[in-house]
Amino acid sequence: MIRSLAPLLLAAALPLAAAQDATITDPDKYKLLLENDQVRVLEYRDRPGERTHEHRHPAFVVIALEPFRRRLHLPDGRTMVREFKAGEVMYSDAQAHVGENVGTTPTHVIMVELKR
């Protein structure tokens, strides 16, 4: 009986896992530029006042193409404000969050998600 339910249970879990991916939750903001077995490279853009849906990233590197300011809402209720100048680079451990542009300029970054 358990073996016959395994494919059904796996299929039920797939939409939940897919909903956590930023390109699924916010396809209007994230654009896939490159993916292989080592990395996934995304371009992200938004405008002041916009926010994302909750999503998850593995460990990643962000390269700011323009200056911006944003607030990250973490699942445990904490918030963090991050401000970048054009050209700044930052590494982050894996995290889930809602991002919100709280500045006066659009956000434009390249994000390199690490797979290993």
Over the stretch 25-68, which tens digit does the pLDDT of each residue have? 999 999 999 999 999 999 999 999 999 999 999 999 999 999 99
How many domains, the chain?
A: 1
Phi-psi bin for 70: left (phi > 0), alpha (psi -120 to 50), beta?
Answer: beta
d(CA 59, CA 34): 16
What single-letter DSSP state applies at residue 59? S
- Beta-bridge partners for 109: 44, 64
CATH of the domain at 49: 2.60.120.10
pTM, whole model, 2 decimals?
0.81
> What is the pLDDT confidence band of residue 5, given thresholds at 50, 70 and 90?
very low
Q: Which two tokens stand for residue 4?
A: 């016959």
d(CA 32, CA 41): 6
Domain ranges, residue 50: 2-114
